[in-house]
Amino acid sequence: MALIASYLMTTKNLEPFFNSLITAKAPDVFNQKFLENLEFKSTNDRLYIGLLKGLGFLDPNGTPTERYFKFLDQSQSKC
């Protein structure tokens, strides 16, 4: 797997961000509005969308992929 080109300005909210994904229902499209509904409203938080795309959790249109759903399934992932 190649290195992703996405980045974050800070990682202080990284763990809370991924924990919020686990507790929220997967959206049809992961966009800025959904991110704000998770209480990540800073302009820096918008970078999480690019990170999820780079990790293969979202397709280029922001639709959750199979990898996203496997992450949500705690029998297949551990957070």
Domain residue ranges of the chain, discontinuous segments joined by +: 14-72
Compute the chain's Rg from CA coordinates. Answer: 12
Token look-up 């966009």 returns 31
Alpha helices in the chain (DSSP H): 14-23, 32-37, 47-54, 66-72
Residue carrying the six token digits 């959904």: 34
Indicate whether 14 pLDDT > 80.
yes
Q: What span, in angstroms and rounded, lies between the C-alpha atoms of 22 and 44?
A: 21
Phi, psi of 64 (to 5 degrees): -60, 140
Banded model confidence at residue 3, pLDDT cuts 50, 70, 90 = low
Residue 79: what pLDDT?
Answer: 54
The whole-model pTM stands at 0.87
> Hey, what are 4's tokens?
């992703």
